[in-house]
Structure 1
Amino acid sequence: MYVLFPGRHHLLTRFQADFLRRQAGHEIVWAVTSANHENTKRNPVPYHRREAAIERLSVLSDLRSVVVPIFDAAPTSAFAEVTLKTVAVETGLDLTPQNTVVACSTPEVAALYEKLGFPIVPVEDDPALDTVPERPWDVLLRLAAGDETWRELAHPATIDVFERYRLVDSVRTAVNDPLVGDEGGLTATRDYRTYVEAFADAADRKWSAVRQYVRPGRIVDIGCGAGSLLELADREPGLHESDLIGVEVARHLYQECVHKKAQGVFQNANVYFYQRNVLGGAIFADRSVDTTLTFALTHEIWSYGSRRESLLRFARRIFDHTVPGGVWINSDVCGPDDLHRPVLLHLASGDGLNPATPRHDLTGLASGEVRAYVESLSTRARLDQFTADFAFPCEFEPVGESAVRIELGAAMDFLTRKDYVDNWLSETHEQFCGLSFPDWRDLLTEVGFELDPASTPIRNDWVIENRIAPVASLTDLDGHPVDWPSTHLLTVARRPIWGSSR
């Protein structure tokens, strides 16, 4: 006879051990769900650590157990069948209603097994219990909140594994992260497929622009995406003895990096990937990194964090982990020098639909519906929709049929984003023009970096000529043409060799 015990099993409790000991003569089949998830708010503990704690509990409690990883999949009403088939493939065990009871305290999951004819033992949800025991997730939330009473409820096997592998702090960081969602991404609305494709297409151009400034040694790409830039660094003969380290917070992208490494994409044996939120705390020891690379990252820190305060904290962490003489190379979007200058923005209105008012219900639509609707709008109407969805102040005053009076920074935020219809709801939560190049220069100097003369604002003329100028123009308030401003920046910031006390 078997007891099938499905669950995420991030934390094991003393109550669970007592319950399982009462199932005398049964073999326990631990089906560990979300086994391919780790370091996220909903799944903070990697599978191999969960498995270690389960095996230790089994030894301490004299239980015969098998542990089976169940990888996450799209929501399905066949979840129970998928789990049973996975157990059969992994272990050869044929679990049936005649030889198995299912231990489960989640009614929705229990109902799926009950529908297949399996008897259910409700564990913590048992109405016959005199007192309702805390569930494992509740105990883990105690840990995350700094409440040390979690140790009284957790099983010694969990406490042992958490302490030996220093999981307490990492669990607290993941669960309490103010930026990263339940599944390990900055936003639930991003289409990571198109994001990866766009970054991969631009990787050669980006690497060509910065490779001459890279200092060999320990090279870290923060926000490495799917590892495209590190693939190019891996091919550089002058870097073959360097450590190449990618840091990525989004689970989807991190897993792609790990997959590439497993497939032998990288020739350098010293390539490593970490799933970490760079705002959650220091990742590297002080004065231990020769080159830090950040591409298309800092505007996300600005947008999802506390604006300049978060960027300043991030810059200080990079300064601290950079060796004297080391370099931080940053390439990203930026705003015009005169962000708040009032201008007239003239927009095409005949290139799409012009509804009377913007919609306020796009978050309730499927991504394909959002894309189709935004694509159907004229450039002028798209500004109205952008303003409705944008997570930052974007005020304008209509002037005539197709012009608006607006600040230059807000105008460029719209113009550089108006064609991002694949990820509209994600992109409208990010601000491209939060800082100008002079603002960046001041921030880096404040931290202690010295700017290399190669640091410069950049205008993406292809975007201007092909995306913006055909449907928009800028004038001052008197109607005189205004040149298109900078859209991007490259900063090469060095930590001084002498004179730094940090």
Structure 2
Amino acid sequence: MARYLLFPGRHHVLTRFQADYLSRLAAGEAAASDGPCTVVWAVTSANHGNTRRNPVPYHRREAAIERFSVLTGLRSVVAPVFDVAATDRFAEVTVKTVAAVTGLELTPADTVLACSTPEVAAMYRRLGFPVAGVEADVDPPPRPWDVLLRLAAGDDSWRDLAHPASVDVFDRYGLEGHVRSVVDDPVVGAEGGLTATRDYRSYAEAFAEAARRKWDAVRRYVRPGRIVDIGCGAGAVLELADREPALRESDLIGVEVARHLFEECVHKKAQGTFSNPNVYFYQRNVLGGAVFAPRSVDSTLTFALTHEIWSYGERMASVRRFVQAIYDHTVPGGVWINSDVCGPDGADRPVRLRLSTADGANPAQPRTDLAAAPPAEVAAYLRGLSTRARLDQFAVDFAFPFDHRPVDGAPEVVETTLGAAMDFLTRKDYPDNWLSETREQFCGLEYADWKALLADVGFEIDPASGAWRNDWIVDHRLAPVASLSTLDGRPMDWPVTHVLLVARRPVNT
């Protein structure tokens, strides 16, 4: 004799089966209790959207539920439940969240749980709630997630299985194409990040510390109008652009793929960080297709982004698609400003790399199990290694080919290529994000490669462009523990580490 049906789930797609099942269940409970029965939709992961696991944002899910309620005649209440870390108290968290959001104190005496996931149902049973199994009660029809995957695969049978309420919302808001691009994204993970091991808090802090230096280096090249920062992180550079009097009439637009960073951008805007009312943020993967209309952007900024496109995408093919997309959305006379790491000239040149063995431990063999170890253990282990031992560990964990050969009689010296040497040296000091950093290649493109690519796409390269060396890194990170030489022993100077590209779309295009 329940007054409420608690129906937890992500609810990206509502199905015809759910409509029939819930209608019959609610009618039965209402008849038994001689009063109305309300379906309480606990929409989990409500703070997630645009991720592979949660491709539909909460407000669209809520709209479909409300439409579903009208069409079925079910009395409904919708409660958003934010994502939480895995816990065996999830049922308690959900019930308390429903109480906080709606004021409904659900108890086993007046509530039946409707849930087809055995693990979740077991949590509620431990609290005393009776359970109705929904899809698990019958010869199971396709479950909602299966219906969503049919949609993502281009199988139009999803429309026959989904309830008209979901079909209507998907059609009105163009969600079908959006879901396909998110679910099938080869780069972004299920939780909306490039890797599952990146510490986004420290990443955002480091980017914020460098934002002033980055902005000062490029501000003179920025053309007012529609200004887009792709890979904007937590919006630190746009905060500085927002303070520029010359840009007060411009639109400032941030594009970020990582859910954690995008959410911080939205939070900053809500807190009044930006004085310009025309500040907007989008969670998008630029490799998934065009983000902006052709010839609609005056200035595009990218900082420390293109090496990630190279690393997580299809190398040069992905970078070329990205550069073409930037060219296409740039107005004639507009500019793309790209600042990133860069491979040395002659990256394939063989060199000798001498590394310190006295600044840490030198185990006989590198570990092969770091990918399964907790982040704190990984960081502690790496901090205890010598620079020479870190190179052997890097060779195990690096996601790209890394050929190196120890030199006989000199255990501190290896022969490798200049590009491989710089890939290691520019990553060796990131123990906290080691498993993320070793998935990225800094030295995939040389400056000559960039010039050829930009010219081929149609950009004109401003004389301000060029490769350069970060001497702070050399003085503090490289020179104290490493040195480079030719194969015959002649000392080599440290090569370039970064590139600044100022590329303009010709006015007459």
Matched residue, 2:345: 337
Q: Which amino acid aligns with 2:116?
A: S
Q: Within 2, Cα distance between the matches of 1:285 and 1:401?
A: 56
Q: Within 2, Cα distance between the matches of 1:28 and 1:300?
A: 45
Shift of 1:74: 1.2
Q: Within 1, Cα distance between the matches of 2:59 and 2:13?
A: 13
Matched, 1:173 2:175: no
Q: Within 2, Cα distance between the matches of 1:61 and 1:177?
A: 35
Equivalent residues in 2 for 1:129-144, closer than 5 Å: 129=138, 131-144=139-152
Matched residue, 1:80: 91
Q: Within 2, Cα distance between the matches of 1:401 and 1:176?
A: 46
Alignment deviations for residues 46-90 of structure 1 (CA, whole Å, 9 cap, x no partner): 000000000000000001000000001111111111110111111
Equivalent residues in 2 for 1:427-438, closer than 5 Å: 427-438=437-448
Shift of 1:276: 0.4
Work out which of the residue numbers 36, 60, 73 in structure 1 matches 2:47: 36
Alignment deviations for residues 335-369 of structure 1 (CA, whole Å, 9 cap, x no partner): 00110001110000011100111101001111000
Q: Within 2, Cα distance between the matches of 1:401 and 1:124?
A: 63
Matched residue, 2:397: 389
Shift of 1:406: 0.6
Matched residue, 2:355: 347
Q: Which amino acid aligns with 2:189?
A: G
Shift of 1:327: 0.3
Matched, 1:150 2:158: yes
- SS at structure 2 position matched to 1:118: coil
Equivalent residues in 2 for 1:195-210, closer than 5 Å: 195-210=203-218
Q: Within 2, Cα distance between the matches of 1:494 and 1:264?
A: 33
Work out which of the residue numbers 16, 21, 24 in structure 1 matches 2:23: 21
Gaps of 5+ in 2: 31-36
Matched, 1:402 2:404: no
Q: Within 2, Cα distance between the matches of 1:280 and 1:390?
A: 26
Q: Within 1, Cα distance between the matches of 2:99 and 2:419?
A: 59
Equivalent residues in 2 for 1:205-284, closer than 5 Å: 205-284=213-292
Matched residue, 1:363: 371
Matched, 1:484 2:486: no
Matched, 1:377 2:385: yes
Q: Within 1, Cα distance between the matches of 2:262 and 2:414?
A: 42
Matched, 1:456 2:456: no
Matched residue, 1:123: 134
Shift of 1:458: 1.1
Work out which of the residue numbers 88, 96, 115 in structure 1 matches 2:107: 96
Query: Over aligned residues, Cα RMSD in angstroms?
Result: 0.5
Q: Within 1, Cα distance between the matches of 2:285 and 2:405?
A: 39
Q: Within 2, Cα distance between the matches of 1:145 and 1:271?
A: 35
- SS at structure 2 position matched to 1:139: helix
Q: Within 2, Cα distance between the matches of 1:57 and 1:368?
A: 46
Q: Within 2, Cα distance between the matches of 1:474 and 1:283?
A: 43
Q: Within 2, Cα distance between the matches of 1:328 and 1:111?
A: 55
Shift of 1:456: 0.8
- SS at structure 2 position matched to 1:343: strand
Gaps of 5+ in 1: none
Q: Within 2, Cα distance between the matches of 1:32 and 1:401?
A: 58
Shift of 1:234: 0.1
Q: Which amino acid aligns with 1:77?
A: D
Q: Which amino acid aligns with 1:451?
A: I
Percent of pairs with identical residues: 71
Alignment deviations for residues 210-229 of structure 1 (CA, whole Å, 9 cap, x no partner): 00000000000000000000
Shift of 1:91: 1.0
- SS at structure 2 position matched to 1:325: strand
Matched residue, 1:62: 73
Q: Provide TM-score, normalisation by structure 1.
A: 0.98
Q: Which portions of structure 1, spanning 4 or more consecutive aligned residues, are displaced by more than 3 angstroms?
A: none
- SS at structure 1 position matched to 2:288: coil
Larger displacement relative to structure 2 (394-403 or 222-231): 394-403
Q: Provide TM-score, normalisation by structure 2.
A: 0.97
Shift of 1:372: 0.3
Q: Within 2, Cα distance between the matches of 1:84 and 1:225?
A: 34
Shift of 1:401: 1.7
Work out which of the residue numbers 177, 184, 190 in structure 2 matches 1:182: 190
Q: Within 2, Cα distance between the matches of 1:141 and 1:266?
A: 39
Q: Within 1, Cα distance between the matches of 2:474 and 2:20?
A: 67
Q: Within 2, Cα distance between the matches of 1:132 and 1:205?
A: 58
Q: Within 2, Cα distance between the matches of 1:31 and 1:276?
A: 27
Q: Within 2, Cα distance between the matches of 1:465 and 1:17?
A: 67
Shift of 1:21: 0.7
Matched, 1:446 2:456: yes
